[in-house]
Structure 1
Amino acid sequence: MPIKYVPFIPEPVEGQAVLGNFNRILKYKGADDVSMTLQRGMPLYEVEKQETVGENVNGNMVIRGECVSACAYLKEQGIQVDLVYIDPPFASGADYAKRVYIRRNPKVAEAIAKAEEELDIDELKAFEEKMYGDVWNKEKYLNWMYENLMAIKSVMSETASIYVHLDWHIFHYVKILMDEIFGEDCFQNEIIWHYGGRMMHGVGTFNRKHDTIAYYRLSEEGVFHLPKEEVDFDQYAKNRHEKIHIDENGRRYLLAPDANMERTTRQYEDEIVEKGRAIDDVWEIRYIRGNAHERVDYATQKPEELLERIVESSSNEGMIVADFFGGSGVTAAVANKLGRKFIHCDIGINSIQTTRDRLVADRAEFDVLEIKDGVQLYRNPVQTIDKIKSLIPGLKNEDSLDSFWEGAISDSKLGSVPVYIPNLMDSSSKLLDKVTMNRIIHQAIPDLDNSIKKVIVYYVDITDENEIKQFIKEDDSTDVEIELRDLKTVLDDVVIGDYAEYHIEENQDNLFGGYSVIIDKFISDRVMSKIDEFNHKAFLNSTEKKPYKPIEISEEGLELIEFLSVDCTSADGEWHSDSEVKIDKNGYVILNGNKTKEFWDGSISSDKHPLRLKIRNICGDETIWKLENA
């Protein structure tokens, strides 16, 4: 359950156009049939500090949790942000997944280059690397965005700016929402990001090669620095079809028209170059090239140049820059490099890990926080739902059911029993209250076939179970039995931690530290189950021309390790990474954020005696061991 609800009032700006085809107003029995605005507020959950990197005197944050809950925490802490950039899902129907690479085995004399061997992306879509998919129809997406934008507005300063990055799928609908929420007068630009060079072949259409960014500033007093581009004088003259002249001192210039439109005024090269060219609202910025130093192998990663332009235009040094759909961490990374404070938030653990490692490499200081909302068992809500559906005995998809229901269970006596699972992407649906139950009774159940005798309703949190049961009992509009079930009980004891065998050696003349933890064996049932699935699919799809080639893991299993960290400061509580090793996909070591050309040798060293060991497998699961003799 949330600790409490932090109020925010979802009211449109007076006089603005509104979208009328989605539900802001909810009705339920017992409210005298009066429309009730959902004013419960943003759910505030317990927030646990997982790690502090550096001194972090600026209060930078990397938060694992959804946008609305993160905003509740910031509002409760009295934190206001000066600039927001968000790159939320585009409602495009696309699925995005992390590529998983098998590392080299340091225990084998001739290490096999497994780094080139990649797990099939289609298989990963059903596993924990799936970051998000098309989990909304248009109405649900707009409700979800409305709630998120209202929450974000509640933590913006009076002079703050917001940039919302979308594409053709949903931008124009969200633009109307933003006019309603922030005010049409606050709209500044519709920015076109044209990513030249990225091939997007269409059939029967022009190639789609741009995204759209809506820029709003809440006050004219808000920060805005018009960016300038460097001018190539020769190209400038060519574009203007003007001849370059040279004066008696050898200075180059163009002839510009005077007040009488006669070309007598000299415009010298140094003046034109120094003045630069003001940026317009069409930005020609290339996508990240495959070998770019900033690439972090994150599916939706945006180029730093794009964020540099936004951060420099709409903030000053020392201001707080926030990204509530942080993805690869580009906003936080750029803000840090430009001397701004940053808040990175994302629901996916892959985002948090990628951003954390990226910021460590940049020598940033920050806290890693986790919102304890009860659904953080898996990497993100989509994956949690996929796992939940696999854990409910007998649950099957049923095409005849409305999308409100996740599926149905077949009962020998009752027949088909529809099952409701809350949308974990939508914080308002996590709490089962009278409003939600009223919707189930008066909208969802009446749409079912008359043969349905029972439904099962799962919940993450509930206002009061006895109160909801009494509400159901007093409603005489349906004869369908409604059974309530706590979703968290389905998840109990599901995740089994990875297993590791190790020993500690004290080094007398070790360049990297006085102690080494040597990993002798590593077993990850979760990763191996995905490799088994991959191998099975490869076997079924094999042909003479493309023979079956399984991925094989050594008995030691060290190829399944991506990251190690030791805590020499504390044996409990918040993590302190006193030394860390990341193994990139080619097997090279990144030692404490510094790239090397050394292959991993199966150990991690530290100056002080290590008290705890953390290992992250190649799929992102992290397990902590309290070291013996710690």
Structure 2
Amino acid sequence: MPVKYIPYTPNTVEGEAILDNITRTQRVLRYRDNNQVYNRIKRGMPYYEVETVEQVGNKDNTDNLVIRGECISACAYLKEQGVKVDLVYIDPPFASGADYAKKVHIRRTPKLAEKIIQAETQLEAEELQAFEETMYGDIWKKEDYLNWMYENLQAIKAVMSDNASIYVHLDTKIGHYVKILMDEVFGEENFRNEIIWCYKTSLRASSKSYGKDHDMIFFYSKSDTNEIHPDKKDFPSSESTIKRWKEYADENGFVSNKHFAGSKSTIINTDDESKGFNIYNGIPRDWWEISANVSKGNTDEVVAGKYATQKPEALLERIIKASSDKGMVIADFFGGSGVTAKVANDLGRKFIHCDIGINSIQTVRDRLVANKTSFIIKEIKDGVALFRNPQQTMDKLATLITGLQQKVEGVSNFWFGAITDSKMGTMPVYVPDLINSKEKVLDIPTINRIINEEIQNLNITAKKVIVYYIDIDDEKELRKFIKDNNATTVDIELKDLKNLLHEVVVNDEISLTCNKVEITNENKSLFDTADNKELYQISIEKFVSDRLNQKIGAFNDKGNLQSLNKGKAFNPINISEEGLELIELIAVDCENSTGEWHCSTEIKIDKLGYVILDGEKTNNFWDGRILSKKKPLRLKIRNISGDETIVTV
């Protein structure tokens, strides 16, 4: 249960529209569950306990935050702590109807790495075995999406400083709907610009339609005193323009259109050459041509290439420079690969990165470690032990509920499935959708819908339904409501989902040894060993991950079946007896045996098997060991899918 609820804003303006009535424009938007949205906003943002997971870098720097949790809960925490945000950039799901997956690469075993070194063979990425895992599902009904976005925007506004700005990045499918919501939340008078981000290369082209080569970014301020800080260095001309008009380019690569004033060949008015001019008569233009392909940029951007929706650093650099000064706080509540946090830090700003997926938190952590950045990782303890991300947790729940069958005839999609019992017959099961934050609290409107709609609409005879919950608004009042209003003969059984979710997280099994070793010519180059006479060596003997083995087994079964149907050979993934190729990161804590993690040293094994030592890339293959200058107290191992297990050394 939440510790308490934090008000979204000092007071909701009386008579201001809450989705169903746009008073300023006299238009009407009607979506399902509007009353529930209104009631939740009146109740406030749920404030949960927040645990500090890890301090990275300078312990005196507590301004930079990486938060695992939902946007609304993170905003409740920030508001309770009195944190104000000066600039917000969010790249939320676009309601695209797509599932986003990452490719999970199997590492090289240390034994194989030794053979490769001896044979002086070059590793190729194409040779690696891999499978895909769903990171999150961007599958929404439009009404649910807009209700969800409205609550998030209200929460974000509650932590913005008086002179703050917000940039909301969307596409053409959903952007114009969200624009109306933003008018309501921030006020039409505080709309500053619709910025069009044009890709330099076509991502979605078809000969039968116009290319879909841009996204839209809505720029609002919290008050009418906000303005951007245009600097021509931040809005450079395109390469083609500079090349053609190089005699007019200044030292910053900016071609000023003043050189063409009065000329009949003024390129501002031509379609092909005006693209490079991002500033006209000193005014920044509201369309930007920036390549969407981060893999062609510097290698620092490629580290997060597992994110299909990753945005280029150049895009964030332009926004942050234009709408903030050094020392200000920049927040991204759908942080993904951590581009906003990384760029903000590079530009001398403070940052807040928030995301609900563990893969996002791990990606931005590793990215910031490599960037030598100081920050704190915090986790919102909302009572749900997530399986890497909400989508994967929902998939896992279907296997944890004993006897559950999904897509049962006569049971609508409102129900998660049904259990067949010899005495009770078919029992529909309701499970709150962890992807949709509004379902986390079981309240009277939800129970009322179950009693008066969903049970009535069942095409089966049910004696009992099972309703799982994470939180209950008021359990005593809720049970009384069921007793007083359930006119059906169907019994309603309430069950705490948290008890079931505890079974989701199962630690991997690790066998290791730890010994003192002497400093040698071979290992002394790895550390500054001037003050050390000995090192500690941890050797990983065996690593077993049941979840990964099941995933790989399912991948192999599917591949074998497809090969039989198509008559093509399939190369299955085979894991060695030691299982060390399933390890991505190993970290050592020499300071704390419990509680907050302190990383004394760490190694990350990239997909080619090379070691990244404390954020620094090396040319060494991992040999199954990690060295420490101090005596290790505990060890953290992250597998290739992102599951982390901590063991005492």
Whether these two folds match at TM > 0.5 is yes
Query: CA-to-partner distance for each residue in 1:119-143, whole Å, 9 max, x for gaps?
Result: 333xx2xxxxx22214421111111
Query: 1-side partners of 2:292 and 2:237: how far apart?
Result: 22
Does 2:551 match 1:542? Answer: no
Find the counterpart in structure 1 of residue 6 from structure 2.
Answer: 6
Find the counterpart in structure 2 of residue 267 from structure 1.
Answer: none
Q: Is the 8 A contact 2:589 2:633 kept in 1?
A: yes
Query: 2-side partners of 1:235 and 1:387: how far apart?
Result: 53
Does 2:84 match 1:80? Answer: yes
Does 2:44 match 1:41? Answer: yes
Cα distance, 1:553 vs structure 2: 1.4
Query: 2-side partners of 1:43 and 1:427: how far apart?
Result: 10
Q: Is the 8 A contact 1:18 1:180 kept in 2?
A: no
Q: Is the 8 A contact 1:198 1:287 kept in 2?
A: no
Query: CA-to-partner distance for each residue in 1:268-290, whole Å, 9 max, x for gaps?
Result: xxxx9999964311111101343
Partner of 1:500: helix, strand, or coil? strand
Find the counterpart in structure 2 of residue 579 from structure 1.
Answer: 601
Cα distance, 1:232 vs structure 2: 7.8
Query: CA-to-partner distance for each residue in 1:533-567, whole Å, 9 max, x for gaps?
Result: 11111211225863131111111111111001001
Of the three residues 288, 292, 315, the one matched with 1:287 is: 292
Q: Is the 8 A contact 1:566 1:579 kept in 2?
A: yes
Find the counterpart in structure 2 of residue 169 from structure 1.
Answer: 173
Cα distance, 1:584 vs structure 2: 0.7
More helix by share: 2
Normalised by the size of structure 1, how large is the TM-score? Answer: 0.87
In terms of mean alpha carbon deviation, does 223-232 or 612-621 score higher?
223-232
Amino acid at match of 2:7: P
Partner of 1:72: helix, strand, or coil? helix
Q: Is the 8 A contact 1:230 1:277 kept in 2?
A: no
Partner of 1:368: helix, strand, or coil? strand
Query: 2-side partners of 1:557 and 1:380: how far apart?
Result: 24
Of the three residues 361, 383, 387, the one matched with 1:374 is: 383
**Percent identity at matched positions?**
53
Amino acid at match of 1:43: P
Compared with structure 1, are the counterparts of its residues 561 and 451 closer, same or farther at alpha carbon in structure 2 (3 Å cutoff)?
same
1:493-572 superposed matches below 5 A: 493-509=503-519, 510-511=523-524, 512-513=526-527, 514-542=535-563, 546-572=568-594
Query: 1-side partners of 2:88 and 2:404: how far apart?
Result: 44
Normalised by the size of structure 2, how large is the TM-score? Answer: 0.85
Query: 2-side partners of 1:117 and 1:37: how far apart?
Result: 48
Of the three residues 122, 130, 133, the one matched with 1:119 is: 130
Partner of 2:140: helix, strand, or coil? coil
Does 2:58 match 1:52? Answer: no
Compared with structure 1, are the counterparts of its residues 231 and 489 closer, same or farther at alpha carbon in structure 2 (3 Å cutoff)?
closer
Query: 2-side partners of 1:528 and 1:233: how far apart?
Result: 49
Partner of 2:588: helix, strand, or coil? strand
Compared with structure 1, are the counterparts of its residues 566 and 24 closer, same or farther at alpha carbon in structure 2 (3 Å cutoff)?
same
Does 2:196 match 1:192? Answer: yes
Of the three residues 315, 324, 328, the one matched with 1:315 is: 324
Partner of 1:596: helix, strand, or coil? strand
Partner of 1:25: helix, strand, or coil? helix
1:393-404 superposed matches below 5 A: 393-398=403-408, 400-404=410-414
Compared with structure 1, are the counterparts of its residues 291 and 606 closer, same or farther at alpha carbon in structure 2 (3 Å cutoff)?
farther
Amino acid at match of 1:224: I
Partner of 1:99: helix, strand, or coil? strand
Partner of 1:169: helix, strand, or coil? coil
Does 2:436 match 1:426? Answer: yes
Does 2:374 match 1:365? Answer: yes
Query: 1-side partners of 2:224 and 2:436: how far apart?
Result: 33
Does 2:156 match 1:146? Answer: no
Compared with structure 1, are the counterparts of its residues 313 and 568 closer, same or farther at alpha carbon in structure 2 (3 Å cutoff)?
same
Compared with structure 1, are the counterparts of its residues 256 and 440 closer, same or farther at alpha carbon in structure 2 (3 Å cutoff)?
same
Compared with structure 1, are the counterparts of its residues 179 and 22 closer, same or farther at alpha carbon in structure 2 (3 Å cutoff)?
farther
Partner of 1:565: helix, strand, or coil? strand
Cα distance, 1:619 vs structure 2: 0.7
Query: 2-side partners of 1:499 and 1:391: how far apart?
Result: 21
Cα distance, 1:502 vs structure 2: 1.5
Query: 2-side partners of 1:434 and 1:231: how far apart?
Result: 58
Of the three residues 231, 236, 250, the one matched with 1:230 is: 236
Find the counterpart in structure 2 of residue 613 from structure 1.
Answer: 635
Query: 2-side partners of 1:203 and 1:53: how far apart?
Result: 50
Partner of 1:133: helix, strand, or coil? strand
Query: CA-to-partner distance for each residue in 1:448-487, whole Å, 9 max, x for gaps?
Result: 3374443221101123434322210011443332111111
Compared with structure 1, are the counterparts of its residues 567 and 457 closer, same or farther at alpha carbon in structure 2 (3 Å cutoff)?
same
Q: Is the 8 A contact 1:350 1:620 kept in 2?
A: yes
Amino acid at match of 2:454: A
Find the counterpart in structure 2 of residue 205 from structure 1.
Answer: 209
1:260-271 superposed matches below 5 A: none
Compared with structure 1, are the counterparts of its residues 411 and 236 closer, same or farther at alpha carbon in structure 2 (3 Å cutoff)?
same
Of the three residues 480, 485, 491, the one matched with 1:481 is: 491
Query: 2-side partners of 1:452 and 1:342: how far apart?
Result: 52
Amino acid at match of 1:207: G
In terms of mean alpha carbon deviation, does 17-26 or 178-187 score higher?
17-26
Query: 2-side partners of 1:311 and 1:399: how far apart?
Result: 53
Cα distance, 1:410 vs structure 2: 3.0
Of the three residues 143, 158, 162, the one matched with 2:162 is: 158
Find the counterpart in structure 1 of residue 336 from structure 2.
Answer: 327
In terms of mean alpha carbon deviation, does 65-74 or 224-233 score higher?
224-233
Compared with structure 1, are the counterparts of its residues 255 and 283 closer, same or farther at alpha carbon in structure 2 (3 Å cutoff)?
closer
